[in-house]
Amino acid sequence: MEIRCIYILPIFVFISISCASLLPPERRVYPKNPVKLPDGMDIHDWMETKKKQFPDRLRNYSPYANSYKMMFYRKQFTKFGSYISCGAYVRQTGKNAVELIEMVSNVNYADYSISQIPKGGELGPMNEKERTEILLPCIEEFLTPPQTKE
């Protein structure tokens, strides 16, 4: 009987962990949508500005005319020495606004400064705490306006 338990326990743990899922889509939407664009900019100008603001930390591509998929790597490490990244689908919703939807976070074991391909990590958010402590601060850092030189 004890031998069976040794084999069953790892299977139970694997099934429990693999059944975790992301928060529902309505909880993976930026709560301050729509995001106002700077005057005179459309989504393409804005994303180009963001690319210049974060040249080594932002990856994006445009799958459709007025939208982008983006992945942003935070500057700060976690206490375990990994990076936090976040991704979102960004689409223009009006002349001067975009919205961020389908947001995800990843505690990433890759070094974004040497590799463009994530090495794997913990996809999230799986719960409200991860949404508040990991995902939203990452998105807020991405949305930080560029610093002007005076």
pLDDT in tens, 7-59: 444 444 433 344 458 899 999 999 999 999 999 999 999 999 999 999 988 99
Which is more confidently placed, 3 or 133?
Answer: 133
Predicted confidence (pLDDT) at residue 3 exceeds the cutoff of 50:
yes
What is the arithmetic mean of pLDDT over 79-107? 89
Percentage of residues in the chain having pLDDT higher than 90: 53
- What is the rounded radius of gyration, in angstroms, for the C-alpha atoms of the chain? 18
CA gap 30, 103 in Å, rounded: 7
